[in-house]
């Protein structure tokens, strides 16, 4: 999604509760995440443009909701932000802590909401996302962004390692 400052979380970072690649997505036709899900499937990642296609057969074009859950297992350390880009309602929990709460509905065009994180390579963190389509076209993305201080730390570690080769 252009202009939101996030890159999609790579599919290889995500594992369902059953340990499969991706996220478990439970889709609700009622828009309130209540009752029995209309559809349950594994999504490789969250990076959709539902402005040009329906999310799934059997779901309305507007007013549906999704609850995704997975383990987030980065293949590199990340000091930066985890975020969600959408124009609709969203809540994100990381390690059972609510880190993004924009459940009040549309926010104009696609925008991102972020929370600072420090993730370690190979260490799983639970992630749960609740999203509700409020109307109109929808883009939906779980993303991340490294901070300059994280990049600086990586450069310093690399420099220190290289210097050890010459001493």
- Residue 162 is inside which H or E element, if any? helix 148-166
User: In sequence order, what are the residues at sequence separation of 6 or more whose Cβ sits closer than 8 angstroms to the Cβ of residue 91?
Assistant: 98, 100, 101, 102, 103, 129, 130, 131
Beta carbons of 16 and 72 less than 8 angstroms apart: no
Q: Which of 14, 10, 25, 6 is nearest to 126 (CA)?
A: 14
Give me 166's structure tokens: 């010459």
> The whole model's pTM is what?
0.82
Owner of token pair 């000091």: 79
What pLDDT score was predicted for residue 159? 44
CA atoms within 13 A on the CB side of 95: 10
* Beta strand ranges found along the chain (DSSP E): 7-8, 14-15, 23-28, 39-43, 47-49, 65-72, 78-86, 89-94, 97-102, 111-119, 125-132, 139-146
Ranges of the chain with pLDDT below 70: 1-4, 105-110, 136-137, 148-167
What pLDDT score was predicted for residue 105? 67
Q: Residues for the chain: how many in total?
A: 167
Q: Give 30-36's long-range contacts (Cβ < 8 A, gap of 24+).
A: 30/63, 30/64, 30/65, 31/63, 31/64, 31/65, 31/132, 31/133, 32/65, 32/132, 33/65, 33/67, 33/130, 33/132
What pLDDT score was predicted for residue 4? 55
């Amino acid at each position: 999604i252009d202009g939101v400052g996030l890159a999609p979380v790579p599919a290889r970072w995500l594992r369902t509760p059953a340990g499969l690649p991706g996220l478990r997505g439970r889709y609700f036709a009622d828009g309130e995440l209540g009752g029995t899900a209309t559809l349950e499937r594994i999504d490789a990642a969250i990076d959709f443009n539902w402005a040009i296609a329906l999310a799934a057969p059997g779901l309305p074009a507007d007013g549906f909701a999704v609850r995704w859950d997975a383990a987030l297992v980065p293949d590199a350390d990340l000091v930066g932000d985890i975020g969600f880009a959408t124009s609709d309602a969203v809540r994100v929990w990381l390690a059972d802590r609510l880190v993004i709460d924009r459940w009040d509905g549309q926010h104009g065009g696609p925008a991102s909401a972020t929370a600072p994180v420090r993730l370690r390579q190979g260490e799983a963190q639970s992630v749960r996302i609740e999203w509700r389509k409020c109307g109109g076209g929808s883009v939906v993305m779980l993303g991340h962004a490294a901070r300059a201080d994280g990049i600086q730390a990586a450069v310093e570690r690399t420099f220190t390692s290289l210097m050890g080769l010459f001493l």
